[in-house]
Amino acid sequence: MSEARAERSFVSAQQVAELAGVSRSAVSRTFTEGASVSDVTRQKVLRAADLLGYHVNHLARSLIQEESLIVCLIGAEISTPYQSRMLEALTRRLQRIGRVGMFINTSGESASFEAALRQTLNYRAAASIVLSGAPPESLIRTCVNNGQQVILINRDNHPEGPANVSVDNHQAAREAFHMLARAGCSTLAVISSTAGTPSIVARERSFAAAAAEAGLKVTVVRSGPTSYATGFEAGRLLLSGSGRPDAAFCATDLLACGFMDAARYEFGLNVPADICVVGFDDIEQSGWSAYNLTTFRQPVDAMADYIISLIDGSGVEDIERGRFMAAPVWRRSVRPR
C-alpha cells in the first residue's frame, strides 16, 4: 500500500501523505489555492510530492467542483489559415486563465456534430466554443440546460440561447461594393463557395444587394468548398467566356488567392489593372507580396478576448458586444481612384 516509488503509475495524494508523514487533507490543502497550511507542513508535502512526482488529478478535482476547467473547441478544417489563427488565439488565452482547450474535430462524418457536442458534456466542459459547422438547435439546448456555456463564432443564425460572436458581414460587404464602384468597376462577380455558412451567405447577399441598389447585376460563382482550389476553378469558369468581369468580391481570402492566381497565370490578366479583387478575413497570405490583397480584417484577437471574458465572467455580458466590425485593409488588388 505504501509504495514509495512511482512505478509506471500515477501517484495519489495518499502516497504523498504517507511519505510526508501527514494526513491526506494536508496534501490537498497544500495544492489548494488559499487553504491554510503551516509552512512546515507545506514544505514536507512539497518535498514528498516532488520526490514521488505527484500531480493533482484534475479529473477527480472536477468531480467535486461540478465543473471542469476544460473548454471544448468544436470545429472542422483547422488547417485553414483563418481557423488555425482563431484556434491559436483562443488556446493561448485559455491557457492564461488556467483553462485548457479540448479540440473536437467534426471534419469526418456529417453526423459527427452530435457526437462532438456529446463529448463536451462527457467531460463536463465549462464551455463549448463552436468555430464551424452547423450545430442543431436541440443539441445546443441540451448543453445550455446542463449549465454549459455555448459560444458560437460567426454563425449568427441562432437567435437566442448561446452567445454569438460575429463580424458584421453586411456592413463590410457593402463597403466592398463601394470600394469597387469607386474604382470604376461595373461588371461585378462574387466568388463564393457551396459551404453555405451564415457568414458566406451574408457576404454574398449584402454585396449583391448593394450592387442592385446601384443598378448593377452580379454574377455569383460557387464551384466547391471554401478553398484555394475553388477560387481557382471559379476564375477558370468566369474568365474564359466573353463578358469578363472587371471586379470580383471573394467571400474569403482563400478563394481570392485562388481566383487571383487563375486570373494571372491562366489568363495572363493583371490585378488590379484588368480586374480588381477584394477578399475577406485578412489571412496571413493576403499580406504576402505575391497577393497584396485588399481585404477586410476579422479582428481575431479582439474576438478571442471577448470570448475569454465571457468564459471568465470578467466581461460585461452586453448583448451587443458580440458584434465586431471588419475593417478594410487597403493593399494593391484594387485600383486606386
Residues that bind DNA (CB under 7 A): 10, 12-14, 22-29, 31-32, 35-38, 40-41, 54-57, 60-61, 63-66
Distance of CA 129 to CAs 32, 95, 109, Å?
28, 15, 19
Peptide bond into 328 cis (omega under 30): no
**Contacting range for its own copies; rule: CB under 8 A; set: 104-112, 152-160, 180-188, 321-329:** 104-112
Q: Taking CB within 5 to 8 Å according to partner kind, which of its own copies, DNA, none is near residue 13?
A: DNA
Task: Pick the closer one to its own copies by CB: 60 or 214.
Answer: 60
Closest approach, Cβ 266 to its own copies, in A, equals: 8
* Residue 70 binding its own copies, by CB under 8 A: yes
* C-alpha–C-alpha distance, residues 119 and 37, integer Å: 37
Q: Could you tell me if 46 and 17 are in contact, meaning their C-beta atoms sit under 8 angstroms apart?
A: no
- C-alpha 124, offset from chain centre: 21
Among 194, 213, 240, 288, binds its own copies (CB under 8 A): 288
Q: Taking CB within 5 to 8 Å according to partner kind, which of DNA, its own copies, none is near residue 123?
A: its own copies
**Contacting range for its own copies; rule: CB under 8 A; set: 33-41, 119-127, 159-167, 319-327:** 119-127
Cα torsion 240, 246, 251, 252: sign: positive
Taking alpha carbons only, the member of 309, 313, 298 closest to residue 81 is 298
Closest approach, Cβ 42 to DNA, in A, equals: 7
Closest approach, Cβ 190 to its own copies, in A, equals: 21
Closest approach, Cβ 79 to its own copies, in A, equals: 4
* Residues counted in the chain: 337
Sequential DSSP letters for 118-173: HHHHHTT-SEEEE-SS---HHHHHHHHHTT-EEEEES-TT--SSSEEEEE-HHHHH
Distance of CA 87 to CAs 131, 132, 266, Å?
9, 12, 34
Q: Taking CB within 5 to 8 Å according to partner kind, which of DNA, its own copies, none is near residue 68?
A: its own copies
Binding mask 128-157 for its own copies (x = CB under 8 A): --------------x--xxx----------
* C-alpha–C-alpha distance, residues 51 and 61, integer Å: 22
Task: Pick the closer one to its own copies by CB: 108 or 196.
Answer: 108
* Alpha helices (H) in 53-136, listed in sequence order: 58-65, 81-96, 112-122
Closest approach, Cβ 106 to its own copies, in A, equals: 8
The residues binding its own copies (CB under 8 A) are 6-11, 53, 55-60, 62-63, 66, 68, 70, 73, 77-81, 83-85, 87-88, 91-92, 95-96, 100-105, 107-108, 112, 118-119, 121-124, 142, 145-147, 228, 232, 257-258, 260-262, 264-266, 284-285, 288-291
